[in-house]
Amino acid sequence: MKKYILPLYLIASLIMFVACDHIADDERLIHVPMQPAKRVVLLEDFTGQQCVNCPKGSEVIEQLQEAYPDNVIAVGIHGGPLGFKGNSVNIGLATDLGDTYYNHWELEYQPVGLINRHGAVNYTDWTKGVKEELEKESPLEMELTATLQEHQVHVIVKETALRAGISGNVQVWLLEDDITALQKMPDGSVNKTYVHNHVLRAAINGTWGEECAPSEGETLTQDYQQTIDDTWNTSNLSVVAFVYNDSGVLQAIKTTIEKQ
């Protein structure tokens, strides 16, 4: 019986080889979808130095960022009817850019927020809105680096699509923290030593960003430069980037600026 073992083994191997050789090309590889990315929520806080309730909105943001330190990005957009552009005595943080955004979204009061751009939300409902967004999956992964050389910030943004059909705009903003400037308070007083954080200073790649439509698995890269105003404290600057479309913000990312 032993003399038949080897031939039978060879015959079985040959059958397996022939069977494998006839697998169609489109059946050899199985497409495995990329896993969704961890969601980061963008909260656009439309605020103003003449807004008595805006400090309450800032308190909500502080609580959210304490609870979700890596998942909530806040941007303070100064403008609108309660914004203050400054005078010879006091620093103003409102900008024409802030007014543009306020008017574009047809906002009617302050403070009011956009949570991943799903419509205006009163500050009393920000916590609920952020929690709902954190439960969603993101179809994008993003990378962001920012370096400072003299008076120029060099920004590199990367977006990787985790599924097909991703399209929108990539937006890049420059923020500043720890700005001491006046603020009207809930009791009606004026606090001239109030500290403002995550204040929008500039739209690095234009008011509405630029088109971004990576194919599934593809990584797109953008390279930007931003001149720093002499009144900005470079030690307190950061950069935020996000991708959005008509359905809202798909993903966001923030980084500090490395000095070289």
- DSSP letters, 39-89, are P-EEEEEEE-TT-TTHHHHHHHHHHHHHHSTTTEEEEEEE-STT-----SS
Question: What count of Cα atoms within 13 Å lies in the side-chain half-sphere of residue 157?
Answer: 25
Count of residues in the chain:
260
> What type of residue sits at position 248?
G
pLDDT 10s per residue in the chain (260 long)? 444 444 544 444 444 443 434 445 444 444 445 555 689 999 999 999 999 999 999 999 999 999 999 999 999 999 999 999 999 999 999 999 999 999 999 999 999 999 999 999 999 999 999 999 999 999 999 999 999 998 999 999 999 999 999 999 999 999 999 999 999 999 999 999 999 999 999 999 999 999 999 999 999 999 999 999 999 999 999 999 999 999 999 999 999 999 88
Q: Which letter does DSSP use for residue 105 in this model?
A: T
Task: Show the tokens assigned to 92.
Answer: 């103003």
If phi > 0 it is left, if psi is from -120 to 50 it is alpha, else beta; for residue 80 that is: left
Can you list the positions of beta strands (E) in 79-151? 112-115, 120-122, 140-149
Picking from 99, 66, 73, 76, the residue whose alpha carbon sits closest to that of residue 195 is: 76
- The pLDDT of residue 2 is 43
Q: Cα–Cα distance between 88 and 227 in angstroms, integer?
A: 24
pLDDT score for 37: 63
Question: Residue 160 and residue 78: Cα distance in Å, rounded?
Answer: 31
Burial string for 171-194 (b: 16+ CB within 10 Å, else e) reads bbbbbbbebebbbbeeeeeeeeeb
Going 192 to 195 to 196 to 202, the CA torsion angle's sign is: positive
Q: How far apart are CA 90 and CA 118, in angstroms?
A: 34
Alpha-carbon Rg of the chain, whole angstroms? 26
Whole-model pTM?
A: 0.86
Which residue, among 121, 139, 138, has the nearest Cα to 130 in the 3D structure? 121
Which CATH number is 41-259's, of 3.10.20.30, 2.60.40.10, 1.20.810.10, 1.20.1070.10?
Answer: 2.60.40.10
C-alpha distances in angstroms, 217 versus 2, 244, 247? 54, 18, 21
Q: First vs last Cα of the chain: how many Å apart?
A: 79
Quote the pLDDT of residue 111: 97
